[in-house]
Structure 1
Amino acid sequence: MTFDTWNIAFVGMVTSMLLFNIMQWYSHRERVYGYYTLFMLLWLGYFVLRQEGEAWLREGTYHFVRVAVPMMAYFVYYDFSAVFTRLRDEKLLKLFSRVQALLTVYVLVEMGLCFFSEGWRLPVHEYLHIAMRTILILASGYIIWRMAQAPDRVIRYFVAGSLLLVLFGAIAMVTTITGIRPSTPLRPWEAPLFYMQIGIILELLCFSLGLAYRHRRASIEKAVVFEQLAREREQLERERLETKLAAQQTHKLLSDLRMKALRAQMNPHFLFNSLNAIQECILTEQTDAAASYLAKFSKLVRLILESSDKQMIPLSSEIESLRLYLDVESLRFTQAFFYEILVHTHIDASLINIPPMLVQPYAENAIWHGLLHKEGDRKLTISFFSDDEFLYIEIQDNGIGRAKAGQEQNPLKKEYESRGMKLTDERLQALSEREGVNAFAEVEDLADPAGRPAGTRVMVTLPI
């Protein structure tokens, strides 16, 4: 193989590496690939012009290319090195800057010698070139020694490539100075450029491997960071959900305790009134009424006790308790009023749940403070109907109305009634807070066509 053949192969290898690096630069858009591309481009231009330019370049231009273009490549090499190794050593960075300044001065001097004078013919031209190469070898040796102490694998790739270039560059310089008698045709190892080309190829290989490793490590580090961030986000989301769940459970527990406390107050309120009624029947010697009253009352108490520890009961159970309560009250007042309970046919009372003893206080209020103060026909109607979202309970009486009832009550009884209604309203509020829904009761005063009070309507709305 002749040197010309080898040179063509060398240019082909460097060109392939250059094109591959340009693609990498386009793909990653990192500055290190830009410096590396320029570094390879300068060396490629240098060897092409050294081999082919002597025939068509002006002599001064050719000699400028021979001595100045490698120095331009070394100038870029220092920028590439700082970025490639992510150098933070201030001393080395200062050394890089000084060597680059020296290279700039040298290139300017060579421009003057090659383009503006015949200085390239003088021995000083070669002496300057040899001196500059010697300075670069010494500076590179020091840089390699300093960087070799770092444990980073990327820096090791850089150190290996730089060391190979320095080594083969020194061989090329020694070969140039001592001179080897060439044969014809020129064999590769007889040309000083051959050793420089070997050093460059090995250096480029090391740098390319280092760049590949650097990119792979950066990708892994980025993936690790993303994974860590994802884990942290997942942990934060889990903690947020756990906190939210704990808050909901705490809120539900407090609401449950509040509901139980309210029921504990509600049941004694009703039982107290019922026992008073039984006592009144016994004292007035209404034995049949007392027996019937006790039978219904005992069954009612059993239902109340069964539901006392439950948050919700089936609507069918609530209706049964309500019917028993109204029977008891009707017996107590010797059929002084008429009641009816209407459940719309599309409602399955066994599938709908409501808080226990919810309707009873409204029915009690209608009887005691609306109907019993009225003369003539007394009627209480309780209706259950629903839509897709809510259950509606309507308690309507044709009593004397709230305004007149308030005038006729004694203060103690009025306070007692207000307490029962207040407890029921608080139960609805607690249910709303516990379930996160809107449960409420609305009271409407009814009037006849002449505008006279004609009773009261209460509408209780519960979510299904």
Structure 2
Amino acid sequence: MDYNQIYWVDFINIGFLGIMFFVLLYALGVYVYERKVIYFYYSLYIFVLGIYLFSRSEFIYNNITIEIEEYFPRINFFISDTFQYIAHFAALQFGILFLNAKKDYPIFFRAAYYVRIFFLLAILLSILNISTFNNQVFNDWLSYIERTVATIATIYMQIVILVQAKNKLVVFYMVGSILFLVGAVVSVFALDVIYMRIGTLIEILLFSLGLAYRSNLMQKERNIFKERMISEIQEKEELLNRYNEDLKRQVIERSEALINEQQLFEREKQKVLKLSLEKEIDRVKMTALRSQMKPHFLFNALNAIRALIIKNDSHQAYDYLTDFSRLVRYILESSENEYVSLDEELKMLKIYVRIEQMRADDSFEYSVDVDDSIDKREVSIPPLILQPFLENAIVHGVDNSKENQLISVNISLESESLIRFEVQDNGKGRNNDDNENKFAELGKKKSMAVDLTQKRLNLLDSNQARLEIKDLYLENGASAGTKVVLYLPLIINGKKIKSNINR
């Protein structure tokens, strides 16, 4: 190697290579650390373009490339032709990811799809030709067509993104691409590759700045989304707390009013008013109880949402929060009503079970079967009458150590004026020794769900309303789960009936 032949232009080329080398190391480092494919294509683009431009130096060719050609005679053809096609392909892939073209620039994305196929075909044809016959005429023909398509496609796609510009990323991409194109064109006419090197260097620097700006934009978007999700959770917590406080206050005020009323009329209608007041107090208490789902479920759900946000699982957190909001809204609205439609109640139960399934990593399945003779929109039932039994089945019945865990709800007509509800699971059963909380308490001791439901049944003024709990067993005597059967008077649009319904 004759160092006396090094001119100032060669020093510029070496400096150019040094800058591209450091940018390449940075891009590769980011790709290895973050595993973002955009940095892979950026690194590939810098690498092949740097090798191509560096090899165009006369000093490099005379002192390095010629020596390599002794072992790989066609290496110069690969660098001058194939590497250019690879650079064009990598640059286009980078542009698609950089601009988020699939979402923000669909026209650009569709055009890029066909251009990428052309680039890949050009790379394959170039490698096959150079590796076999090395037909110079074919090489020149392929190079001319590839550059023409690349130039036309670049101009067209630049116009498309300029017309549909969504943010400042377009500025970095367009200015960098245009300066590179100008440098390449000037190099062709001036017969000096240094102009292309200058255009390339400016383009790479602009792309690097654009990547930094893009990362900053994405981080801001993530921060805004986190803040919005946290704010919504806080609002839901505040709403829940306010509702509980208002509910307690209403219960106290209503109870005090009833007591005062009882004292005013005690002498004249003591016996009648006593019964009436006791019933009214029970009704108010039932309203309070049925509208307050177990606090640990509500706060566990909020904690689960918060955990998903901390994990950056924003999509599942958003779905979870949406279901939770709908469930809370239903509880707030239905607590003021004596009856709701069966259709609304089943929708609420579906949301409630979906939340529990998300918390339990889908360890159980849920099914609902309603007899075709029942019009779900016309039939009315007390709100949240089935939820306690579903919760007991999920919390105490589901056996996470077993597969195919199922909780089913079956609804049918028992008679012309009686409707039957079955809540069944195939889990641990009430007599399982490992069931510490003992869903078995439903039949053996007073359970809060049973006691609460029984009081609500008493308020229906129906001798037919009743509750049954059955243990299920396999043929070998092993527990096969629990079945809760609830009988309610048939109510159409909030009114009890004693006649046949349309079948």
Normalising by structure 2, what TM-score?
A: 0.48
SS in 2 for 1:59: coil
Deviations 1:358-380 (A, max 9, x none): xxxxxxxxxxxxxxxxxxxxxxx
Counterpart residue number, 1:392: none
Counterpart residue number, 2:127: 111
Which residue among 4, 14, 33 is the counterpart of 1:8?
Answer: 14
Deviation at 1:265, TM superposition (A): 6.0
Deviation at 1:31, TM superposition (A): 2.3
Is 1:102 the counterpart of 2:118? The answer is: yes
Counterpart residue number, 2:32: 26
Would you say how many aligned residue pairs link Structure 1 and Structure 2? 270
Deviations 1:72-128 (A, max 9, x none): 0111111111111111444433432332333333333333443222423x5x64454
Letter in structure 1 aligned against 2:111: L
Structure 1 Cα separation of the partners of residues 77 and 9 of structure 2: 20
Counterpart residue number, 2:200: 200
Which residue among 41, 59, 71 is the counterpart of 2:85?
Answer: 71
Letter in structure 1 aligned against 2:126: E
Normalized per residue, the structure richer in helix is: 1
Deviation at 1:159, TM superposition (A): 0.8
Counterpart residue number, 2:231: 231
Deviation at 1:24, TM superposition (A): 2.5
> CA RMSD, aligned part only?
3.5
Deviation at 1:27, TM superposition (A): 3.9
Is 1:156 the counterpart of 2:162? The answer is: no
Does the CA contact (< 8 Å) of 2:187 and 2:195 recur in 1? Answer: yes
Letter in structure 2 aligned against 1:226: K
Q: Where does structure 2 lack aligned partners over 5 or more consecutive residues?
A: 1-6, 289-503
Deviates more, 1:1-10 or 1:65-74: 1-10
Structure 1 Cα separation of the partners of residues 229 and 154 of structure 2: 41
SS in 2 for 1:148: helix
Deviations 1:212-243 (A, max 9, x none): 11111111111111111122112221111111
Structure 2 Cα separation of the partners of residues 125 and 36 of structure 1: 26
Normalising by structure 1, what TM-score?
A: 0.51
Deviations 1:157-201 (A, max 9, x none): 11111111111111122233xxxxxxxxxxxxxxx3322221111
Task: Indicate how the Cα distance of structure 1 residues 66 and 54 shifts in structure 2: closer, same or farther if over 3 A, else same.
Answer: farther
Deviation at 1:49, TM superposition (A): 4.8
Counterpart residue number, 1:249: 249
Structure 1 Cα separation of the partners of residues 114 and 237 of structure 2: 54
Structure 1 Cα separation of the partners of residues 197 and 236 of structure 2: 57
Deviation at 1:131, TM superposition (A): 4.2
Letter in structure 2 aligned against 1:154: L
Deviations 1:43-62 (A, max 9, x none): 23334555333331333221
Query: What percentage of aligned pairs have identical amino acids?
Result: 19
Is 1:44 the counterpart of 2:46? The answer is: no
Letter in structure 1 aligned against 2:19: M
Deviation at 1:29, TM superposition (A): 2.9
Task: Indicate how the Cα distance of structure 1 residues 236 and 10 shifts in structure 2: closer, same or farther if over 3 A, else same.
Answer: same
Does the CA contact (< 8 Å) of 1:61 and 1:114 recur in 2? Answer: no
Deviation at 1:13, TM superposition (A): 0.6
Larger radius of gyration: 1
Letter in structure 2 aligned against 1:142: Y
Q: Where does structure 1 lack aligned partners over 5 or more consecutive residues?
A: 177-191, 270-414, 437-464
Does the CA contact (< 8 Å) of 1:130 and 1:173 recur in 2? Answer: no
Task: Indicate how the Cα distance of structure 1 residues 59 and 173 shifts in structure 2: closer, same or farther if over 3 A, else same.
Answer: farther
Structure 1 Cα separation of the partners of residues 51 and 131 of structure 2: 19
List aligned pairs for 1:170-185, cutoff 5 A.
170-176=185-191
Does the CA contact (< 8 Å) of 2:107 and 2:160 recur in 1? Answer: no
Structure 1 Cα separation of the partners of residues 164 and 66 of structure 2: 43
